[in-house]
Each structure stands twice: as structure tokens, then as C-alpha cells.
Amino acid sequence: MTGWLVIAGLGPGNQAMVTPEVTQAVAEATDVVGYAPYVRRVPRRRGLRRHETSNHEEIARAQHALRMAENGRRVVVVSSGDPGVFAMAAAIFEAVHLGPDSWRTLDIRVLSGITAMLAAAARVGAPLGHDFCAINLSDNLKPWALIEKRLRLAAEADFAIALYNPRSKARLKGIDLALDLLREHCEPSRVLVFARAVSTPEEQLRIVCLAEALPNMADMRTVVLIGSSATQIINRDGTPFVYTPRAVPE
């Protein structure tokens, strides 16, 4: 049997937001590998093995998946959102780069998914309607000094910004420090969107100005969208619309 490896994004949480090509790959798989909460989103069925791992075993998880594919298994490595955005695609290719030459000949495909910042942006309108960037506030794999530099430069360049992994039980201060830095470089009226668990029954949306933003508005299920200086709020009944204009004046 010829094996293959697919790195698939399961989207932000709602099964309706999983792409058809990801659904098809999972239906054909013999093995699904990933962080336990993501693997549990894949329904059990006869002939499918589910391999659950902890949150800090990315390279070991990648190597396990590659070995199974090399041995003829049809393997899907699952991530939430999109696998290429702070997720498993990079870990797989790091393992391939450093691993045996035989892994470079495997059938490896990346199937995109809807990442959190895009799902959150769609919920409120178009806050990423002009130039934007994404920054991961986790300092597990990079020093905080680098995160701070990138956030400062993004604010100075007036990008809209999506902040991933703003807070966890082990890292309580990331969003605190980020908000302090933003207040040094941005006006108090800058628009922020705290979008938690978008597309799930636990979804929560908060639209606030920077002066009103509090660290406890974020957790690990939250993506924080920070508007540029041009980002606008359209008030209405229900959730306001937030958008960043397409044009920047000369």
C-alpha cells in the first residue's frame, strides 16, 4: 500500500467550516494525528486510528506521522484553523528537512482551512480590509524581546494586527505587555476586537477601544484583532460592523 501524509486545517470549530477536500482526506485516512482536542473533532469510524498527543510535542508528532506514511499508512495530521498559520505544517516540513532522505519522496500535501483571524474578521465585517499582519504572542519558541519588536514595528507601520495565543494559564502576561506597548504607539480610540471561540456555541465577541481593553478579555481560545488608525466602527442594532477602508490617502 502506498502511503501519504496530509496536513489539514479543521477550521475555527464549526464542522460546516471544514472544507470538502479536508473532509475527503479524513474519510480516506487510516490514521489521524494531532493535539488531542483537535483529533477528538474527527468522528470515530471503523479502520481509523486516532493518535492524540499533548500540545508541546509537535516535532515528535510530525516524525511519528512521517514514519507511518513511509510504512504505507494514509495519515492526516490535523490542526485547528489553517495548518500553515502557527500550526503543524511548519513542524512537518522541519522534520522532513532534518530527517532521512526517504521522507523527501513521500506524498505530502497541505490542505488549507479557515484560520481564526479570518473567521473572526468575517464575524464583525472587514477589519483586515487593508494591510495587516499576524503575530503569535507565545514565547515558547521565540524570545519575548522579538515579539515586542515585531509588535512595536507593526504598530509604528500602522498595520491592522491579529494577535494569536494572547493568554494561557502558563503565560498570563503576554496580552498585558502587548496592550501596554500598543498604548505607547497607538491612540486610545484604536479599535480592538476580542473574538473568542468563533463559530462554536461558546463564541463571544467584544469590540472595544484600546483605552477600554483589558487583559482578561482574552484567553487561549481568543484571537485579538487590532485595527489600523483608519479602522472604523459602524454602530447599529446588534453587533457593530468594523471595517478598515481599502484606500489610504496620499
Check whether 31 has a pLDDT greater than 90.
yes
Same domain as 172, residue 106: no
Both 64 and 124 in a single domain?
no
The answer to whether residues 113 and 18 touch, using CB atoms and an 8 Å cutoff, is: yes
* Residue at 248 is within a domain: no
Last residue of a domain, which of 114, 138, 156? 114
Q: Which is it for strands 74-79 and 4-9: parallel, antiparallel or unpaired?
A: parallel
**Whole-number Å distance between alpha carbons of 35 and 56:** 9
Residues in Cβ contact with 192 at an 8 Å cutoff, skipping those fewer than 6 apart? 207, 208, 209, 210, 213, 224, 225, 226, 227
Residue 47 belongs to a domain: yes
pTM of this structure: 0.94
Same domain, yes or no, for 21 and 79?
A: yes
Same domain, 40 and 64: yes
Same domain? For 29 and 67 the reply is yes
**SS3 (DSSP) at 102:** helix
What would the mean pLDDT of 20-27 be, rounded to a whole number?
97
Angle at 190 between CA 135 and CA 217, to 5 degrees: 65
Helices and strands of the chain, counted as H and E runs:
7, 13
Per-residue CA distances from 144 to 54, 74, 112, 220, 226 (Å)? 23, 38, 29, 17, 19
Q: Domain check: are 105 and 121 in the same one?
A: no
The closest alpha carbon to 7, from 60, 71, 80, belongs to 80
Q: Are residues 69 and 31 in the same domain?
A: yes
At 55, is the pLDDT very low, low, confident or very high (cuts 50, 70, 90)? Answer: confident
Q: Percent of the chain having pLDDT more than 70? A: 98
Q: What is the pLDDT of residue 126?
A: 98
* Cα separation, 18 vs 180, whole angstroms: 36
What burial class does residue 141 get, using C-beta atoms within 10 Å of its C-beta: 0-12 exposed, 13-18 middle, 19+ buried? exposed
Residue 62 sits in the same domain as residue 179: no
Query: Quick check: 169 pLDDT over 80?
Result: no
Asked if the structure places residue 249 within a domain, the reply is no
State the CATH number of the domain containing residue 32.
3.40.1010.10
Task: Judge whether 87 lies within some domain.
Answer: yes
Domain range for 157 is 117-243
* Same domain for 129 and 97: no
Q: Please check the confidence at residue 172 and state whether its pLDDT lies above 90.
A: no
Domain check: are 198 and 155 in the same one? Answer: yes
**Residue 173: per-residue pLDDT:** 82
Average pLDDT over residues 142-150: 96
Domain count, the chain: 2
Residue 136 sits in the same domain as residue 238: yes
Q: Which three cell numbers mark 166?
A: 494572547
HSE, side-chain direction, 13 A CA sphere, residue 231? 35
Domain boundary among 114, 149, 174: 114
At which of 66, 97, 114 does a domain end? 114
**pLDDT band at 250; cut points 50, 70, 90:** confident
Per-residue pLDDT band at 203 (split at 50, 70, 90): very high
Q: What is the CATH number of the domain that holds 171?
A: 3.30.950.10
Judgement on whether residues 104 and 169 belong to the same structural domain of the protein: no
